[in-house]
Each structure stands twice: as structure tokens, then as C-alpha cells.
Amino acid sequence: MQWIATRRDEIYNYFHGSASCQQFFFAAAQEERYAAYYTSMYLLQDTTESLMAHRAKGFSSDPFKAYIEFWGVMQALFIQQDSISELYEAVTGAPLKTNNLSWWRSLRTLRNACAGHPAKKERPKTSPLSRTFMGRGFGDYSAVTYEQWQSGGSISHPTIDLGALIDSYATEAESQLAAVLQFMKQQWP
């Protein structure tokens, strides 16, 4: 996560150190792109710093607080991803393609699975119906466990190393921010 913060700072510093970059974004015709850049940079900073602080502290031993914290972490990751996507498009003018970002997509899938939805979305009609439940005693960053029911009555309790998943995602996310910075350097030397 630290590399995401570092790349975000490098993008910020490059923007403020490049007269040609500022000239482009401050033009009236680029008002929406600048608003997207500006908002994304703040959201990216807030989510990254919050995620790093929580990771250092860990989940509360109080299961009620831990439950709320888990969903806060998952939502912060979604907001961070959306901010990176928005920043990428604001700077490059092209949407960020996440199909090849497997850890990025795995985090989104985990969040949706733990929320119990979408139970049928993006699943072949031949796949069995699946429902999931995220309880209060889910674990911690090293092992998050949720309950999964599938039609036919099978119940399982998948366990995910959330910390490792976040670390792998962060590597992919940082590479997207590095691509934004590289684009800025080429476009606005």
C-alpha cells in the first residue's frame, strides 16, 4: 500500500511542477477532466492512508466493531479502485482496463461474495446458485472466513488471506499509477 501512496505523491508533485500539465488541465475545455483528477487524488490519498493505518492496527477484538471495520476496509478498497480508474481516465483520456488485473478483480469478487451478492451475476446459468454470509467472527487480515451455501445443500467456509490479497492487489494498483505518471511525463514534459 505504501507504493500506492508513493506513486500518488509523485503524480501530485509532477502535476504541480509541470507548467504544461497545469496549462492543459486548467483550460476551460478540460474542466471535467481536472475535476476528476482533483477528486480522485484526494480520495486516493484518504483511502490509502486509512487502509495503511488500519492494517497497522488490525481488526478490533470486539466482533461488532470488527464487522463494521471489515466493511469499511472493503468499501475503502472499492473507493480506492474507483479513484485509480477515474484518475487514469482523467489523465490519459482512456478508460482503465481491469480485465487483466486478477488481484484487483479478486478483491471486488470477495467483497461481493461476502455481501451475499450478486448471487447469480456473471455466473453461467449452468452453475449452481450460491449464497454467502459474512459473520461477525470472520477472523483477521491473515484469515477471513465466510459461509457459502450452494444449491443442493452444500455449505462451505472458504478462508481468504485478506492481507496477501490486498498486497497483491496493491502491486497491480501501483503499476496503474506508474503508467499514469509515465503518461504525464511523456505528454507534458
Q: How far apart are CA 85 and CA 111, in angstroms?
A: 18
Q: Quick one: pLDDT band at residue 126, thresholds 50, 70, 90?
A: low
Give the pLDDT score at 122.
Answer: 57
Burial of 178 (0-12, 13-18, 19+ CB in 10 A): middle
118 Cβ contact list (under 8 Å, min separation 6): 112
Q: Give the span between the Cα atoms of 6 and 45, in whole angstroms.
A: 10
The residues spanned by each domain of the chain are: 2-104+165-187
Report the share of the chain in percent with pLDDT over 90: 75
Cell representation of residue 58: 488490525
pLDDT score at 60: 95
- pLDDT, one tens digit per residue, over 19-77 is 999 999 999 999 999 999 999 999 999 999 999 999 999 999 999 999 999 999 999 99
Query: Quick one: pLDDT at residue 130?
Result: 67
147-186 pLDDT, tens digit each:
888 777 788 888 999 999 999 999 999 999 999 999 999 9
Nearest to 78 by CA among 164, 145, 173: 173
Neighbours of 134 (CB within 10 A): 19
Q: What is the pLDDT of residue 123?
A: 56
The pLDDT-based confidence of 142 (bands split at 50, 70, 90) is very high
Report how far residue 73's alpha carbon sits from residue 80's, in angstroms, rounded to the nearest whole number.
Answer: 10
What was the pLDDT predicted at 38?
97
Which pLDDT band, with edges at 50, 70 and 90, does 128 fall under? low
Can you give the pLDDT at residue 121?
55
pLDDT for the residue 148: 82
How sure is the predictor about 135, in pLDDT bands with cuts at 50, 70 and 90?
confident
Note the pLDDT of residue 136: 77
| Residue 148 main-chain phi, psi, to 5 deg | -130, 125
